[in-house]
Chain A
Amino acid sequence: MSRLEVTDLARGFGGVQAVSGVSFTLESGELLALIGPNGAGKSTCFNLLNGQLRPDSGRVRLDGVDLVGLPPRRIWAMGVGRTFQITATFASMTVAENVQTVLLSRARRLFGLWRPASRQFRDEALALLARVGMADQADRPCGVLAYGDLKRVELAMALASDPKILLMDEPTAGMAPAERLELMALTAALVRERGLAVLFTEHDMDVVFGHATRLLVLDRGAIIADGPPDAVRADRRVQAVYLGDES
Chain B
Amino acid sequence: MSFLLVQALSGLATAATLFLVSSGLTIVFGVTRIVNFAHGSLCMIGAYLGWSLIERFGGSVGGFWGSVALASLGAGVLGAAMEVGLLRRLYRSPELFQLLGTFGVVLVVQDAVAWIWGPEDLMGRRAPGLKGSVDILGQPFPLYDLVLIGLGPLVLGLLWLLFTRTRWGVLVRAATQDRDMASALGVDPARLFTGVLFLGSALAGLGGALQVPREAVNLHMDMAMIVEAFVVVVVGGMGSLTGAFLAALLIGQLQAFGILVFPQITLVLVFLFMAVVLVLRPHGLMGRAEEAPPAAATAAPVLRLGNRGGWIAVGLLALLAAAPLLVGDYAVIVLTEMVILALFAASLHVLIGLGGLVSFGHAAYFGLGAYGAALLVRHLGAPMPLALAGAPLVAGLGALIAGWFCVRRSGLYFAMLTLAFAQITWSVAFQWSGFTGGDNGLLGIWPSAWASGKAVYFWLTLALCAGALALLRRAAFAPFGYALRAGRDSALRAESVGIDVRRHQWFAFALAGSAAGLAGGLYAFAKGSVFPTLMAVSVSVDALVMILLGGVQTVSGPLAGAALFHLLESQVMRATDLWRLLLGLTIVALVLLFPRGVVGVLSSRRERS
Binding site for B on A (CB under 8 A): 50, 52, 71-73, 76-77, 81-82, 84, 88-94, 97, 100-102, 104-106, 109-118, 120, 141, 143, 157, 160-161
Contact = CB atoms under 8 A, between A and B. Distances in A.
Which residue of A116, A141, A157 has the most chain B CB atoms within 10 A of its CB atom? A116
B385 interface: no
Interface string B445-482: 00000000000000000000000000100110111111
Interface in B405-425: none
A104 B495 contact: no
B504 interface: yes
B497 interface: yes
A116 B489 contact: no
Interface stretch (B198-206, B260-268, B295-303): B295-303
A217 B104 CA distance: 57
A115 B478 contact: yes
Contacts of B344: none
B490 A110 contact: no
Nearest to A74: B498
B479 A104 contact: yes
Contacts of B33: none
Nearest to A77: B498
- Of the four ranges (under 10, 10 to 19, 20 to 34, 35 or more), the interface on chain B belongs to 20 to 34
Given A73-B500, A106-B498, A113 B489 contact: no
Contacts of B187: none
Contacts of B507: 111
A112 B479 contact: yes
Given A92-B485, A110-B504, A73 B490 contact: no
A161 B494 CA distance: 13
A154 B301 CA distance: 19
B334 to A, nearest CB: 32
Contacts of A113: 471, 474-475, 478, 480
A113 B486 CA distance: 15
A89 B490 contact: yes
A97 B475 contact: no
Given A52-B492, A116-B305, A90 B478 contact: no
A116 B473 CA distance: 10
A21 to B, nearest CB: 26
Given A93-B482, A143-B302, 14 more contacts: A73-B497, A73-B500, A76-B496, A88-B490, A88-B496, A92-B301, A106-B498, A110-B483, A111-B479, A111-B507, A113-B478, A114-B478, A115-B479, A160-B497
Contact of B486 (A72, A81, A90, A161): A90
B480 A89 contact: no
B497 A109 contact: no
B303 A92 contact: yes
Nearest to B477: A116
A86 to B, nearest CB: 9
Contact of A90 (B479, B489, B500): B489
A143 B485 CA distance: 13
B299 A91 contact: yes
A44 to B, nearest CB: 15
Contacts of B303: 92
A93 to B, nearest CB: 6
Given A106-B498, A110-B479, A84 B492 contact: yes
B478 A141 contact: no
Contacts of B191: none
30 contacts: A72-B495, A72-B496, A73-B500, A76-B496, A76-B497, A81-B497, A84-B492, A88-B493, A89-B490, A90-B485, A90-B490, A91-B300, A92-B302, A92-B303, A94-B302, A100-B482, A102-B497, A102-B498, A105-B497, A110-B483, A111-B479, A111-B504, A112-B478, A112-B479, A114-B475, A115-B479, A117-B479, A117-B482, A118-B477, A161-B498
A88 B492 contact: yes
B499 interface: yes
Contacts of A77: 498
